[in-house]
Chain A
């Protein structure tokens, strides 16, 4: 009576459809090789501390004190913790009755949410309401909550940039919605192409899809492009005309490596536009402690801020958040600290500023080193990494390489990346994991390996690439 156990066939189809290449085939193969003793350079995920970036000192001091409040009672605590870290730990413990071990408000500690609101106000020049800011265990959980609230069925479409960070495609699959792609223009440095976007929307609608939301990732992942103010205005006008909620993934807002287009938040542009649009366009903005120069991925600290979302909808979002009880409290404290870091005059400021500047300056240099390094390789063309943490070079594979790949049952970029991994230990993610135009191949790597390791990594890549291209070059065409 009944089936034996739980068979693969009996699983939720939506689960089976989900793909997440960032920890997919390439990563699993890299892990296998690592177990066999091969030295692997993991550049598959934006995980700075895994590649040697050190945590900032001040936040770790504060959280350690919050973790073990008995330290604050010890007369010798001042010998190993600076006074401002001690004061800040007391500040957070006062905000969190019960300390780190108690569930907080399901939206996050009110005092931390206030710090987030104050940060947003300083950044944008417009007030922000802490009641509309929800802290989450990483930004991803917030993205999933919002998409789950929006997607009713397979006819609900979400506009997603291509290439995109595959959390979006995975979440849409999981919740049974429809991904409506809008292609970024590689020839224009991965710029936004609203003409193409409108075409996508029209095509989807003619197939019976109701477009509900538009995702933007600014700065972009994997592409790194930073949207201009004009771009953001276009997007907001578009969302207004088409009745879409804008989901603005701004987790890389502190990672900007050029000066022409500094980061501007979608919310600021929206309010700058004024008028009915500023009161009606619905916007959800996401941020995290995992990126920037903090890189505290393992803490799982994030937030989303809701703008122009109706109160009853907010109530439903609250209800779903309450089922998870609360985000992790240490992660919330990291967020508070990121929102209100040491200021000039604070004891810890000089060290904090030095650590931060050193990381950001190095990221900027590495963005350039990597872009130039890829561009020096045969059949590789790479847009400059304007922001975020990745490089997304285009690999122009010769026909023979593509044929060989396909007869091995692999997508050409997967084949290339596996060969790269086996030859050099560099673990990347094939462009197909992010989406790309048909027949155009890429890979994503990060700019995170230590600066001193970069030259060796780029030369190892070049050696592999150029010999791969040589091997598969179709000489009959020359």
Chain B
């Protein structure tokens, strides 16, 4: 009897979508990791170094103490009745937990909340956005989600009617976008970031891609911008952002602004400006431009990936459209409460004068400073190697070096039925235990090869990673030199 749910009769959109961040290379790495456990010494390295995923706490980054204090108290509110907690928790974490619990009906952190998230927490987030941007934000515009990703899926679901609906996506991109567009049956319309100008975005290029798509019968619905960029790390210049906003308004596009790395900036000459702020600075209001801004608790200096906390702020949508967004959110009832609380904490952290401020600031600055140093060390190390060039990581958590692969390597890859960068990444893994993601997983100008490597391994491991990488790379290039 033929199996009903077999690959042959699965939803073709599921079959089509891909997600390299936890794809083939990583699955192989996990097998090798098991091999290291069952047969120690059987591989030329002692440990697998996962540089494939922006997962800071899995590599030793510590959570921000204040946030965890508040979350623990909210998880077990009975603690607030015990005097002993005064010696275990900071006074301001206790008062913040009390304030948060008071905003939750019945103080019940185990209850489904409002489908957009707890109102009091959305008020806090709205106030945080207002204070960040200098323009007001509204709690009713905020939807708290299990990480930012479900919010991306929701918008793709809303926007994509059929395979002729296109979404403009930067190349290279974080492959949630390509996967989500494939899953929802739409068309990805690529616009290429310019590697030679530090991964700059040229509006003329975007316009060209848009017109090209339209000439092919694609109805382009939205523009995705990732700022700071993933995998590319560039922070958009303000003028660039003005151009993007005006472009979207003129072309009738929804602007989807992935801003999850807004607190990962490593250079002094760039600052994060939210697209909401840019839109409002231009005098555009609710009638002018539909904008969705995404934020997450997974990145920044907090790095709380496992909590699945995030939100989208939706502005410039009509009431009937907002009702549909609410309706889809309501089918899932609500996002996890602990993640909601954390989202409110990152948007309203301790301030000068608060008891926890000094230690909070030290933790935050320490993490950002360390990320800055690691970004630079790895970037310099890659640039020193023949056959690798690497743009600066102005922000985010990644480096995206370009490989100049010799022809013989490309042929060997072809013979092994692999993309050249995947071939390189696999050899890197097998020689050194270092796990990176091939550039083909993110998209790149055809004929160019890259890989994405995170800047997240612990600082003391970085020299060893660099030296192991160097040994591998030089041997690889020697093996395949033309």
Residues of chain A touching chain B, judged by Cβ–Cβ distance below 8 Å, are 1-8, 10-16, 18-20, 22-24, 45, 47-50, 52, 55, 57, 60-61, 63-65, 67-71, 74, 76-77, 79-80, 96-104, 106, 137-138, 140-141, 148-152, 167, 170-171, 174-175, 212-213, 240, 243-245, 276, 280, 282, 290, 295-300, 308-310, 312-313, 316, 319-320, 322-331
- From B22, B149, B336, give the contact of A106 (CB < 8 A): B22
Of the candidates A6, A282, A328, the one whose C-beta lies within 8 Å of that of B306 is A328
A49–B331 Cα gap in the complex (Å)? 19
User: B27-67, CB under 8 A of A: which get 1 and which 0?
Assistant: 00000000000000000000000000101111110010100
**Alpha-carbon distance A290/B63, docked complex (angstroms):** 27
Given contact pairs A99-B57, A244-B4, A245-B4, A6 touches B290 in the complex (Cβ within 8 A): yes
Indicate the member of A70, A98, A152, A299 with the most B CB atoms within 10 Å.
A98
Q: Residue on A with the closest CB to B53?
A: A103
Q: How far is the CB of B22 from chain A (nearest CB, A)?
A: 4
Q: Are B160 and A68 in contact (CB under 8 A)?
A: no
**Which residues of A are found within 8 Å of B11, using beta-carbon distances?**
148-152, 175
Measured CB to CB, the nearest residue on chain A to B332 is A140
Instruction: Evaluate contact between A5 and B75: CB separation under 8 angstroms.
Output: no
- State how many residues of chain B have any CB contact under 8 Å with chain A: 100
Within the complex, the shortest CB–CB distance from B332 to chain A, in Å, comes to 6
The 5 closest A-B pairs by CB, nearest first: A2-B252, A329-B306, A98-B58, A64-B76, A68-B72
Interface centre among B73, B147, B176 (most CB of A within 10 A): B147
Interface residues of B (CB under 8 A from A): 1-7, 9-12, 14-15, 17-19, 21-23, 53, 55-60, 63, 65, 68-69, 71-73, 75-76, 78-79, 82, 84-85, 87-88, 105-106, 108-113, 115, 146-147, 149-150, 157-161, 176, 179-180, 183-184, 221, 250-254, 287-290, 298, 303-308, 316-318, 320-321, 324, 327-328, 330-339
B109 in contact with A298 (CB, 8 Å): yes
Q: Which residues from B are CB-within-8-Å of A103?
A: 53, 55, 58, 298, 305-306
Quick one: given A137-B146, A148-B11, A309-B5, are A5 and B306 in contact (CB under 8 Å)? no
- Cα distance, A57 to B332, chains bound together (Å): 26
Bound: A9/B4 CA distance, A: 36
In the bound complex, CA of A76 to CA of B88 (Å): 8
**Whole-angstrom CA separation of A396 from B22 in the bound complex:** 55
> What are the residues of chain B within 8 A of A296 when measuring CB–CB?
110
What residues on A are CB-neighbors of B88 within 8 Å?
Answer: 71, 74, 76-77, 80
Who on chain B is nearest to A173 by CB?
A: B331
Find out whether the CB atom of B332 lies under 8 angstroms from the CB atom of A98: no
Q: Find out whether the CB atom of A104 lies under 8 angstroms from the CB atom of B306.
A: yes
Inter-subunit contact A6/B254 (CB<8 Å): yes
Partner of B5, one of A149, A167, A240, A329: A149
Q: How far apart sit A80 and B88, CA to CA, in the bound complex (Å)?
A: 10
Chain A residues near B146 (CB-CB < 8 A) = 137, 300, 328
Task: Identify the closest chain A residue to B179 (Cβ).
Answer: A323
B1, B7, B111, B336: the one within 8 Å of A47 (CB): B111
Interface centre among A6, A65, A243 (most CB of B within 10 A): A6
Known contacts A50-B111, A320-B14; A102 and B305 CB within 8 A of each other = yes
Q: State A300–B111 Cα separation when bound (angstroms).
A: 10
With the chains together, A3 CA to B253 CA distance in Å?
Answer: 8
21 CB < 8 A contacts A-B: A6-B321, A8-B318, A10-B161, A11-B324, A12-B161, A20-B331, A23-B330, A68-B71, A76-B88, A80-B84, A80-B85, A96-B306, A102-B57, A103-B306, A140-B331, A141-B332, A300-B334, A310-B3, A323-B179, A324-B150, A328-B146
